[in-house]
Structure 1
Amino acid sequence: MSPSTVLRSTVRDSPEKVGPWSVGPAAPPPARWSPRRKMLLLFAAGILSQYSLDVLVAGLSGWPLAIRCLWALGMVASALLMDERSASAVRLHSAFLSAVASLSFIGLVLVTGATGSVYFHFFPCLPLIMCLLYPQDSLSASLSGVLCSVGVSGLLWVEGRPVSEVLLWAGVVVTATLIGAYGAREFRKAQRAEAEGRVERARREALEQLAISERRRAHSEKLATLGQLAASVVHEINNPVAFIHSNLDYLEQEVLSETPASREELAEVFRETRVGVERVRQIVADLRGFSRMDAEEPTECALADVVSDAARIARLRLQHVARLEVDIPAELPPVLAVRRRLAQVLLNLLVNAGDALEGRRGAEVHIRGRQEGARVLLLVEDNGPGFPPDVLPRLFETFFTTKGPEKGTGLGLALSREMVEQFGGTLVAENRAEGGARLRLEFPVSGCPSNSLPEQAAFR
């Protein structure tokens, strides 16, 4: 980065001011006209516009207009001063507006005829309206219900109405308040359930996307491994194809010649040709099966079969590099894993061993298996230089590799450990005392929980 770039970046990101000008990024303007504020201002305008109803009810009078002006002024002041960033402030704002609306309505009823006012019969409606306006908060509806109950009871009591009528109207207002509060509570429960449903759906989608991403990452690592084997695969296929081609030429000559070879010779040629075709078919089938990206469930699988699958492909890489020896007892108990993924892990380890042994005389790679208690151990060992001390602690870090960009992605060992751990196993790297590297895989025997297994002695 050039000095001028650093300077521009420093000036652009600095919050300091020089005179009236700010050299930092401009702060976004405060959201003064949020939907809630606009709604309150619209209600304030509606309250003033309804003065025409007061004129029809009580004639031209200054008191209804004064009450409506105070009511609207309270709503405007609340809209301008409300702090929407604080939940407690919004709750107090809602309670304040509810109190203003209730007291203003009581005053409006009082100046337009008291119990004879047309508005008197709307007392039970006001708590319901508060519940509709503020369904997230029961305080507003409760406060409005209390004030309206006191107001309607006071108006009736002042006029000397019977106690039964006073109690009846107070009970109607309280009932309306309870109905509104119940409806608001159910609305809040439905909203919470909907929000939880959205969160759960988002969580499931995220998990699905993560699973897809993991499968794609595993598939990419498979293709990278196969890419490293490409030259060996071509060489391995060319050998049988060469003598298939030679045999076909021989058969063509014999069929067209006047003195064809004996039937035994022709049968031998056909057998050799069939062996070559079968060899090519086996290589292609192994590669195709290994590269498939299926979302499989773990099943019981025999380690001998898994090692056989990986070793067949790995020999394409190791045949000119090192001697591969496999010692997996057939009586080893099965482990719970995805066979194709476990074969990918072993192939990754064998290809890494081949890269480490490149150009080394007398190189050997050994795969050994053994059962120790409720654990099955699988060791991949070589007689190479081993892991350098500074590399060993970082061996399973994602994107860490000591290979060149044309050979390593830094994902193979990290992905291998992840897959082994998904099967309840462990993958550990270490150096052998006699020299060389060792990758130690441990799996719980199928049917034995991995978290309840005892510690096992190290296999040497």
Structure 2
Amino acid sequence: MPVTPEVAASGEWGPRRKMLLWLAPALLSQYVLDVLAVGPGLPALVLRVVWALCVALSALRMDEHSASSMRLHTTFQCVAGSLCFIGLVLVAGGSDGAYFHLFPCLPLILCLIYPQDTLPVMLSGALCSAGAGGMLWMAGRPMSQVLLWVGIVVTVTLVGAYGASEFRKAQRAENEGRLERARREALESLAISERRRAHSEKLATIGQLAASVMHEINNPVAFIGANLDYLEREVLAEPRRASREELAEVFRETRTGVERVRQIIGDLRGFSRMDTEEPTECAVADVVSDAVRIARLRLQHVARLEVDIPEDLPPVLAVRRRLAQVLLNLLVNAGDALEARGREGSEVRIIGVCEGARVVLRVEDNGPGFPPHVLPRLFETFFTTKGPEKGTGLGLALSRELVEQCGGSLVAENREEGGARLRLEFPVGGSVKVAS
């Protein structure tokens, strides 16, 4: 792959190519050592230039994204470098020259430069051992000395290749460990994001109920205040006009009002809290009661709410607050759909039945139902037909996710007689493993 001047100027070279381009002038600069070893000479300079050009041209044409290209150019550089080094040893005096004793070093150096591939280094070791043995044989040295040098070069090559192999294994293990840590961190971040998303949707639902909550709390607070005024007048009056029965009734009403306010605040606090509870068997009637207590605040001025949940329905395995949050989302959505119609004739129903090994809850209303183009996208994240002040597009998507975590299902459909229906199905408690 030729490298244009534009690519070179843009700094898009990879680390291997940059290293080789630095290596080329370094090889050329080693001519100073040749001069010190044998004096100035054209053959040594030519060999240095050829060696540096082979490295530089190979680096420029190498594709670091292709394994085959990397191996081809690595092999070429190792073979070309070994041949050029053998030529330098011959120019510098052969087996009696200063460079001869560096034969074992070249394969080792190549192992450090190219640790990713063993074969090119082994080829270099074979060439160096053949070059060293050939020079000694041509110089008339004993066969034992020839075999000794061949053995030294081969041994150093094998040790270098083994070290490079171990380095590759360690590098691969480190990369796998890094990827595993990144995967775990990503999963942890996703879990945190999901918890925050669920919390945001809870707060959004509570925010939609704020006006109704204020109205609902205002009523008991108003008669608590009136009762306190009455008690103050009667207790301080002389002579006392109120009977003990009247005062007892006022105290009972005051306690009822305080309990009502406490219950509303407790329910809202429970729904807004990010829970980490484990799934347990919970009675469907109790879960529906939890959701209905808050949903009535939204529905009391919009529609009539009917609850038909048999007390003998089998329990389901779920996180009670999560399941109540799902029902609250569905009831608030039904209230939003019916709001424009007016309270007259508007109805919302929660019906519970047992069908075989499944507990089925149906949340129905007699509103306009789901338009055909909306129904397929109803559970998409951030899809909503409401205005920005009423919906985030997360409620139904989150509700389905929470139901599926309990081993159940949530589907939407239109009623034949008009209106919308959300159908929740759960296995009977203990008959399914809940998803974490």
Provide the rounded CA distance (Å) in 1 between the counterparts of 2:61 and 2:338: 75
Corresponding residue number in structure 2 for 1:432: 415
Q: Which runs of 5+ in 1 are unaligned?
A: 1-26, 452-460
Which of these residues, 76, 79, 82, is aligned with residue 56 of structure 2?
Answer: 76
Alignment partner of 1:152 is 2:132: yes
Give the Cα–Cα distance (whole angstroms) in 2 for the partners of residues 122 and 336 of structure 1.
75
State how far apart, in whole Å, the 2-side matches of 1:74 and 1:431 are: 75
- State the one-letter code of the partner of 2:182: A
1:51 aligns with 2:31: yes
Answering whether residue 112 of structure 2 is matched by residue 129 of structure 1, we say no
1:141 Cα offset (Å): 1.1
Q: Which amino acid aligns with 2:126?
A: V
Give secondary structure in 2 for the equivalent of 1:407.
coil
Query: Residue deviations 1:155-175, cap 9 Å, x none?
Result: 222233333332332222222
Does 2:279 match 1:292? no
Match of 1:370 in 2: 353
User: Residue type matched to 1:31 in 2?
Assistant: A
Assess, with a 3 A threshold, how the Cα gap between structure 1 residues 409 and 68 changes in structure 2: closer, same or farther.
Answer: closer
Counterpart-to-counterpart distance in 1, 2:191 and 2:34? 66
The residue aligned with 2:253 is 272
Aligned pairs (5 A) from 1:331-350: 331-350=312-331
2:87 aligned partner: 107
Aligned twin of 2:6: 29
Quick one: percent identity of the two aligned structures?
76
> How many residues are aligned here?
425
1:306-317, aligned counterparts within 5 Å?
Answer: 306-317=287-298
Q: 1:148-187 alignment to 2 at 5 Å?
A: 148-187=128-167
1:383 matched to 2:366? The reply is yes
Task: State the partner residue of 2:379.
Answer: 396
Contact 1:427 1:442 in 2 (8 A): yes
Instruction: Tell me how far 1:295 sits from its aligned partner.
Output: 4.1
Asked whether the 8 Å contact 2:317–2:406 carries over to 1, the reply is yes
Q: Deviations over 1:29-54 (max 9, x none)?
A: 31366354443343233323333333
Q: Which moved more, 1:394-403 or 1:285-294?
A: 394-403
TM-score by length of 2: 0.89
- Cα deviation, 1:50-86, whole Å, max 9, x if unaligned, reads 3333333334444333322322232233334434443
Residue 241 of structure 1 aligns with which residue?
221
Change (3 A) 1:322 1:81: closer
Could you tell me how far apart the structure 2 residues matched to 1:42 and 1:411 are?
Answer: 56
2:98 to 110, 114, 118: 118
Distance 1:388 1:41, change over 3 A: closer
- Matched-pair contact (CA < 8 Å) for 1:131–1:140: no
Matched, 1:305 2:282: no
Shift of 1:414: 2.2
> Could you say if the C-alpha distance between residues 149 and 330 of structure 1 is closer, same or farther in structure 2, counting changes exceeding 3 Å?
farther
Unaligned runs of 5+ in 2: none
Please state whether the residue corresponding to 2:252 is helix, strand or coil.
helix
- Inter-partner Cα distance in structure 2 for 1:114 and 1:200: 53
Structure 2: distance between partners of 1:251 and 1:100: 107
Q: What's the RMSD between the two structures over aligned residues?
A: 2.5
Cα gap change, 1:52 to 1:30, in 2 (>3 Å): closer
Q: Report the alpha carbon displacement of residue 188 of structure 1 after superposing the two structures with TM.
A: 1.5
Distance in structure 1 (CA, Å) of the matches to 2:18 and 2:393: 56
The farther-off stretch of 391-400 and 28-37 is 28-37
CA displacement at 1:289 relative to structure 2: 0.9
SS of 2:302 mapped into structure 1: coil
Q: Which has the higher contact order (CA 8 A, sep 6+)?
A: 2
Contact 1:301 1:335 in 2 (8 A): yes
Secondary structure, counterpart of 1:357 in structure 2: helix
Query: Structure 1 pair 374/253, CA: closer, same or farther in 2 (3 Å)?
Result: same
| Of 178-187 and 378-387, the range deviating more from structure 2 | 378-387
Amino acid corresponding to residue 278 of structure 1 in structure 2: E
